[in-house]
Amino acid sequence: MKYKLLGKSGLKVSELCLGTMGFGTEGGWGADKETSFSILNSFADAGGNFIDTANIYKLGTSEKIIGEFFTGNDRDYFVLATKYSLMNNKTNPNASGNNRKNMMRSVEESLKRLQTDFIDILYLHIWDDLTPVDEVLRGMDDLIQQGKILYAAISDTPAWVIAKGNTMAELMGWNQFVALQIEYSLLQRTPERDLIPMAKHFGMTVTPWAPLAGGALTGKYLRGEKGRIKEDSNRLNENSQLITKEVIAIAKKLGAEPSQVALKWTMQQPLSVIPIVGATKQEQLMENLKVIDLEIPAEDMKHLDEVSAVDLGFPGKFFKEEAVKTNAYGGFYDKVEKRNKA
C-alpha cells in the first residue's frame, strides 16, 4: 500500500480508504462485529490506515464497532474520518443540519461511540442550504483548537460554497477543507463540471463514494444478479450498461476484475483521488485490495474516458472549443504550462 498526503496537509493516508457504512446489521444487511473486525484487520495488514464512517451509519453502530476495535488496537495508526449533519431523531429541530449546535452535539456523541479523544477528519456530510459556510468553518476551527478534531473536510456540497469557504478561511486564518467527498465514478462524471476543477484548484483530495456505482460497475447486474440498486436507477440504464461492458472488456484484457478497473480509473485521474471501498464481506475487501498492483495503460484510460464522457455544459464545453482556445491563448495553447497539473 502506498500513501498520499491528504490535501495540502502533511497527513499521510493510504491510497485506498475503507468505507464502513455497512458495519452493523440494522436494516437487514451489513456485517456483524466479528466480520467487521476481520475486515479492519485485513485492511490494516495490507497497510491501510484510512477509515471512513459517519454518525448516522447503521444508526451509530458503525462508529461503535470501530470504537470497540480501537480499544484492542493502535488507535494512532489509523486515520479516522467521520461526518456530522444527518438526523438521528425527529423530535429536535437542531438534531440535523450543518449548524454549530448540531456539529458540537454530533462530535461529542461520535467521540463516545468511537471511544477516542479525537477524530482525525470531520466531514460536513450534506449541505443544508441554510447554515452560513463561515459558521461551519469557524465551528470546525474551534474543534481543532480544542483537539477534538484534527482536520476539516466537506462532502456533497456545491462547488461555489466550498470555494467561498476555503477562500474565507485563508483570509481569516482558519483551517481550510482538506478533502472533498462526492459521488464520482465512470457512471457519475458530472462532478467534472465544477467540483473536480474546484478541488484541483484548492489542492483538495477527492474521496469518491460509490466508485463502483453501487456495484453496477462490477458487472453483476449484467449477469442477472440482484443487489440494492433499483431497476429504474440511472446506474442500470442503457448508457451505464454500455460503459460497464467496456470496463468488463478492459478487465478481461488486463487479467483483472471489473471492480479493480473501475477503482483504478478514479485513482489515475489527474488530481489526488482516494476511492472509498466499502466491504461487508472479507472477499470483497481482498478483491478491492488487488487494485494497488494494477496499472491501466494510457490507451485504455483514454478509451474509458471517451466512452463515459459527459457533457460539461457551459462554460466547460465552451472553453474546449478550438476558436476559444485560439483567441484566449493567441495560438499558444499547447505551448503554455498550465497551473494545477497532475
Q: Quick one: cell of 333?
A: 495553447
Cβ atoms of 86 and 56 within 8 Å: the answer is yes
Cβ atoms of 29 and 214 within 8 Å: the answer is no
Q: Quick one: cell of 164?
A: 467561498
Q: Which residues pair with 13 in a beta bridge?
A: 4
Q: Residue 126's closest CA among 182, 165, 169?
A: 182
Q: Crossing angle, helix 100-114 and helix 61-71, to 10 degrees? A: 40
Element (H, E) at 5: strand 3-5
Q: Residue 144's closest CA among 175, 116, 114, 165?
A: 175
Burial of 241 (0-12, 13-18, 19+ CB in 10 A): middle
Q: Quick one: cell of 155?
A: 462532502
CA distances to 208, 210, 259, 296 from 280, in Å: 18, 14, 15, 27
φ and ψ at residue 101, rounded to 5 degrees: -60, -45
3-state secondary structure of 182: coil
The rounded distance, in Å, linking the Cα atoms of 177 and 196 is 14
Q: Which residues pair with 152 in a beta bridge?
A: 122, 177
* Residues annotated catalytic, as ranges: 57
